Amino acid sequence: MTTTDIKTVPNFGYELIRDHVLSNILGKHEDDILYWAGKDLARKFPMFTMDEATSFFQEAGWGILTLERLNKDEAFYVLSGENDSLQITKRCFRLEAGFIAQQQQKLSGYLTECFEEKSIKTNNVQFHVKWDLKEKI
């Protein structure tokens, strides 16, 4: 496939579906459904290392994912956009959180959860990934 064969969806089209259509359809259950949808996506697109998540996020148009800190039972990631492209105030980031949680759970073999925190000041999202070393999967 040549570079001229690659088709991309304009950001506006993606944002319409992600920020308006999905939130309207999912209603008050949006956070929970998107989290589990993210986990399901991770199962369909398994990774061999968490380093691959960075490329996946960029290819999916989710933004730039950067590992900030890694400990024995937790990790901290930051998601930023190019030229302030993240819709911090409008968007729910539970899809991304679920994706990260499931990838980490698969790789570590321990029960894992991920929580996100929006930072409007810096226009990014921080993800806190925590796995329970007592809960082997």
Least confident of 58-72, 76-90, 92-106, 107-121: 76-90
* 79 CB burial (10 A radius; 0-12, 13-18, 19+): buried
The answer to whether the beta carbons of residues 68 and 5 sit under 8 Å apart is no
Residue 90 to residue 74: CA distance in whole angstroms:
27
Tokens of 121: 């000041």
- How does pLDDT run across 25-84, given as a tens digit for each residue? 999 999 999 999 999 999 999 999 999 999 999 999 899 999 999 999 999 999 998 766
**Domain extent at residue 65:** 3-136
- Tokens 């999202």, residue? 125
Q: What span, in angstroms and rounded, lies between the C-alpha atoms of 91 and 107?
A: 28
Query: Total structural domains in the chain?
Result: 1
Question: In this structure, what CATH number is given to the domain that contains residue 97?
Answer: 3.30.1380.20
The chain-wide mean pLDDT, for the chain, equals 91
